[in-house]
Amino acid sequence: MKLQRISELQHSFSFLSPTEELTAYQERFFESDLGKIYQAIPWEAMVKGFGLKESGRGTRMMFSPRGRIALMFLKHYAGCSDRKLIEQLNSNIDYQFFCDLHLGLERITNYKIVSQIRCEVSKVLDIDTLEKVFYTHWRPCIDEAEKAVVDATCYESEVRYPTSTKLLWESLEWLYGELRRLCRVLGVKLPWSKYLKWKKRYTGYSKMRRKTAKKRRSLTRALLKLLEKFLVFEQQLLKTYRPTLPKAYYRRAATIRKVYRQQFRLFVTGEKPKDCIVSIGKGYLRPIVRGKEIKKVEFGAKVNKIQVGGINFIEHISFDNFNEGTRLKSSVYKTQSLTHKKLKVLGADTIYATNENRRFVTKHGIKTDFKAKGPKAKHRKVQDKLKGMITKERASRLEGSFGKEKEHYHLKKVKAKTKRTEILWIFFGIHTANCLEIGRRMTRQQLKEVA
């Protein structure tokens, strides 16, 4: 049976022949949460914003440009792995309708198509442009556009907790495997080393419940010496034979050399590295010090977000630890560029209440919930009441949305493998939550109009 797209079918499905049944099915689909998300997405503008087009050459792709974007939204709505997502797409007609796809009796067997589309879409992601597209479409459903709240959070990557011994052993294990393969191809003998001996000792150390400082130092010293030996041999091998290797190899090898330098300096002098690498597979990750009681350090992307009318937008995203207090001015400018209205009320945490930011909001007549300095003003009680309302809005709606996105929209642990795809993962997770909220507001407005 030939695969067909829903947009190309004029009057009927193969399994729903009467037009009345198709209409009833569409009404049932739009009543669901997934249908509300579908109605809240500006499809044509999104396809244009991403610049996705049909390929004129080669085999025609199963998913249309709209279907590829829909699959990214569906990933966060379903909150499951790529394999499970494809399994559900094969059997769930609502999911097929959402993705502009009609499989019939066919089945998608290549679950890696999800990651392929994610990589394709991540290369053309422009957050500012797409968020303007979203706001233009959602404008009728967003009230109080002259009010905003701002705060930062961290979306953690799925990596194990890094320690010096783990980093050194992972670097050593990867480099040893690559050198063995390279020597086998080039016909060169691998130099003698105590790799197997230290492999057994590292395994025993990792199983220990109580890891003493003495054992940790001796193991770290040995791993550093062995890693240095392999790095020197690898440089000699590349210089002598000049083999053709993929770019991924050189990136990983450069990350390992940086790990060696950082850990050697830390071991010898006790000096903590500035841009500390926490994963050899994700060299762009840095420790994000948050100062929380439960979790003092997080590893992932730090995002400064603004919320207008209960809808979140990304103001700044970075894998480096930045001070969100310096982002208040840019948050005000982005809010005004989205809404095309002058901002009058801004809610922000105490970290934003610097003297420079206070002067900025005073100059532009923006009311905030910053704690007042100096002597008490005449209308202090009224001001405190207003600040309390702003703080409550920020603490309940904005910070509550952080937990909702992490728990229900697949952002608790970001499982993407590259920097671009992690940013894309976070972008779609945030806006899937936004689309469902906007879709519900649209439904309420339609019910009011009918009533």
In a domain, 278, yes or no: no
- If asked whether residues 68 and 83 sit together in one domain, one would say yes
- Write out pLDDT tens, residues 371-408: 888 777 666 777 777 788 888 888 888 888 999 999 99
- If asked whether residues 332 and 256 sit together in one domain, one would say no
Instruction: Give the 3-state secondary structure of residue 124.
Output: coil
Q: Which residues of the chain have pLDDT under 50?
A: 11-17
Q: Pick from 246, 269, 292: which residue ends a domain?
A: 269
- If asked whether residues 110 and 177 sit together in one domain, one would say no
pLDDT value of position 56: 65
| CB within 8 Å of 237: residues ≥ 6 apart | 179, 182, 183, 186, 188, 243
pLDDT value of position 380: 73
Two tokens, residue 426:
């976070």
pLDDT value of position 22: 61
Give the residue ranges of DSSP H helices in 208-306. 213-241, 247-269
pLDDT value of position 11: 47
- If asked whether residues 182 and 80 sit together in one domain, one would say no
- If asked whether residues 345 and 394 sit together in one domain, one would say yes
- If asked whether residues 77 and 90 sit together in one domain, one would say yes
- If asked whether residues 402 and 336 sit together in one domain, one would say yes
In a domain, 293, yes or no: no
pLDDT value of position 3: 65
Paired with 149 in beta bridges are: 307, 347
CATH classification at residue 410: 3.30.420
- If asked whether residues 260 and 219 sit together in one domain, one would say yes
Per-residue b or e along 401-410, where b marks 16 or more CB atoms closer than 10 Å to that residue's CB: bbeebbebbb
Cα 121 to Cα 424: distance, rounded to the nearest angstrom: 8
pLDDT value of position 168: 96
Give the residue ranges of DSSP H helices in 51-106. 65-78, 82-91, 93-98
In a domain, 49, yes or no: yes
pLDDT value of position 26: 73
pLDDT value of position 387: 81
pLDDT value of position 101: 86
In a domain, 451, yes or no: no
- If asked whether residues 67 and 172 sit together in one domain, one would say no
pLDDT value of position 385: 79
In a domain, 265, yes or no: yes
- If asked whether residues 361 and 389 sit together in one domain, one would say yes
- If asked whether residues 149 and 174 sit together in one domain, one would say no
Task: Name the pTM for this structure.
Answer: 0.91
- If asked whether residues 180 and 252 sit together in one domain, one would say yes
State the total domains in the chain. Answer: 3
> 64 exposed, middle or buried (CB, 10 Å; 0-12, 13-18, 19+)?
buried
Cα 347 to Cα 343: distance, rounded to the nearest angstrom: 11
Domain boundaries, position 154: 142-159+300-415
